[in-house]
Amino acid sequence: MAKAELSVSAVQLSSQADVPENLERARSLIKRAASRGAELVLLPENFAFFGAEADKRALAERLDDAQAVVVPALQAMAKESSVFVVGGGFPERSADSDRPHNTLLVLGPDGLPLAAYRKIHLFDVELGTGGSYSESAATTPGSSVVVVDVAVFKLGLSICYDLRFPELYRALSEQGAEVLLVPAAFTLHTGKDHWHVLLRARAIEAQAFVVAAAQYGSHPGGRQTYGHSLVVDPWGTIIAEASDGPGLASAVLERSRLESVRKSLPSLQHRRLGV
C-alpha cells in the first residue's frame, strides 16, 4: 500500500540582521527536524534576514543568480538532510529595484526548486503602541495563487499577512490544496489575539492541514514577534505547537484524517456562492 502520510516540522527562529548566522541556525534546526523523522521542513518568514529595509533591498537576489546566497544555502540544506525545505519568505529581485518580492521557495530533497510564491498581501498598518508598518513601501506584491504537489499532498502556499484574507485560501482550495503553509513573522501585538484563531479558521474553512512557522522574540528596529509555530488538523485541532524560543513544531499529516473530515462534513462540496 502506498504511503499516505507526511511528517512535517515548522521551524521557529529568532532571526536577526546577520545572514550567515541566521542561515546556520536554520540549517541546524532542519538537521534536528530530519533526525526526528521530518520529511518536509518549513522555515518562517524573514528566516535569512530580519533587519532594515535598505539592507533587505541590497540582499535581494534572483532565484537563478549564480552569485546568490540564500537560494544555494536552502539547496544545500535540503540535500544535506534529504528533506523538502520551504524557505518561508526572503527578498527576491523584482522589476522594481527598490521593492523586491517577498518570496517563498519550495525545494525537493535533491535541492531542485519545485515552486515559488510571491507574497500577495502586504502589511501596511498602524497598530498604535504595537507599531506601524508599511511593507508595500519596500516590497512588490505577487499576483499568483500557487499549489504544488509534494509527496502525497497538494500544498497551498502563503506568507504571514495573507492569513487575514480567506479568499486566497478559498482559491487555494479550489486548486486542490490539502495542506496550507503559513510562514510568518506575526507581531506580538497581533499574534497574541489573532494567530491561533486565524490559523484554526483557515484549517476549518479549507478542511486542510495548516503548517505555520513563526518568528519569535526581539529583532532589530524594535520588532517583537509572537512565535507559537503550529500544526493544525483539518478539524481545526492544534496537533503541535512550539514553546517560546527557537525550536520545532512537528507532526505527522495523515491522509486518512483529511479524508475522514471531508467525508463527514462535506462543506467544500456545499459551497454555492460563485465568488
Cell 540535500 belongs to which residue? Answer: 79
> Is 45 an annotated catalytic residue?
yes
Helices 166-174 and 188-206: angle between axes, nearest 10 degrees:
30
Which amino acid would we find at residue 187? T
254 has catalytic annotation: no
Give me the catalytic one of 39, 56, 119, 135: 119
Q: How many residues does the chain have?
A: 275
From the candidates 45, 92, 135, 178, which is the catalytic residue? 45
Torsion 262-265-266-268 (CA) sign = negative
- How far is CA 10 from each of CA 6, 66, 85, 153, rounded to the nearest angstrom? 13, 28, 10, 16
Q: Which of 10, 56, 41 is nearest to 246 (CA)?
A: 10
DSSP letters along 79-107, please?
HHHTSEEEEEEEEE--SSTTS-EEEEEEE
Neighbouring C-alpha atoms within 13 Å toward the C-beta of 137: 8
Beta pairing partners, 150: 153
Q: Which three cell numbers stand for residue 88?
A: 518561508
Annotated catalytic residue 119: yes
Q: Which residues are catalytic?
A: 45, 119, 160
